[in-house]
Amino acid sequence: MNGMIKRETMGAQLSSLLRGAILSGEFEPGEAVTETALAVRFGVSRGPMREAMRHLIDEGLLITVPYTGTRVLQLTSADIDDIYSMRICLEIFAFEQIWERRDDSFHVALRARHAALTEAIDAGDDIRSIDAELDLHGLVYETCGNGILLSSWSGIRARLQLYWAAHHRAHGITGPKRESHDDYVRFALGDSCERMKDEIRDHMSRGLDKTMAFVSSVEV
């Protein structure tokens, strides 16, 4: 594997490989991971592996517990409830901020991300469909230009990635339904901010119900 990873981008590529291993279920939520074991697994030295682990800690996929070590993130149903409550508020706020500033480039970008999502769903590529779905929702935060808001979304995104991947594996799902974001895109490009905010609430509520049902079943 050493030869496959260019030295100048080793940290970034290791981050991507480790993220993929976590999302594909090679590492379970709550599983302990060590710098030494991961370095051996990926055939690299400990320095680049340390950098990759730091990156995933910043993303929120790994957590470090004092006197315990580093583990793959494991969320409870209470955590999920908090995340979705915050997500609704953040996404509504983001759309309020950009509503009058939506231009042709926003329309083109949103449609392109929606097309990328449906393409991933049609291909049956679960991990890519999760990334594409989060990319679609992420556009409003990127457009907003508020660094704190974007940082908040980045922290939520990693947690959603992990649990959607686990949920899909458990139920044999390969991504969301193909039409699941049609209304979201239509209202996001429409004329009524209030209708878009209603759609965000409805859309998030549907996602919360499914995610909570899965997480609660795992906790039992």
Q: What are 54's two structure tokens? A: 């730091």
Q: What phi and psi, each to the nearest 5 degrees, are found at residue 33?
A: -130, 145
Q: Which of 46, 72, 98 is the last residue of a domain?
A: 72
**Tokens coding 123:** 């291909």
Q: How many domains does the chain have?
A: 2
For 63-73, what is each residue's pLDDT tens digit? 998 888 999 98
pLDDT at residue 160 in the model: 83
> Is there a single domain that holds both residue 114 and residue 186?
yes
Between 218 and 154, the more confident residue is: 154
Distance from C-alpha of 139 to C-alpha of 105, rounded to nearest angstrom: 11
Are 55 and 133 within one domain? Answer: no
Tally the C-alpha atoms within 13 A of residue 3's C-alpha that lie toward its C-beta.
0
Please, which pLDDT band fits residue 206 given cuts at 50, 70 and 90? confident
54 Rama sector, left if φ>0, alpha if ψ -120 to 50, beta otherwise: alpha
Q: Is the pLDDT of residue 207 over 80?
A: no
Residue 183 counted as domain residue: yes
Give pLDDT tens digits for 107-146: 999 999 999 999 999 998 888 898 999 999 999 999 999 9
Q: What's the chain's average pLDDT?
A: 87
pLDDT digits (tens, 9 = 90+) for 97-106: 999 999 999 9
CATH (domain of 92): 1.20.120.530
Q: Are 161 and 29 in contact (CB under 8 A)?
A: no
Residue 172 lies in domain: 77-218
Query: In angstroms, rounded to a whole number, what is the distance separating the alpha carbons of residues 144 and 138?
Result: 10
The 10s digit of each residue's pLDDT in 30-62 is 899 999 999 999 999 999 999 999 999 988 899
What's the rounded Cα separation, in Å, for the pair 18 and 50? Answer: 12
Confidence of residue 220 (pLDDT cuts 50, 70, 90): low
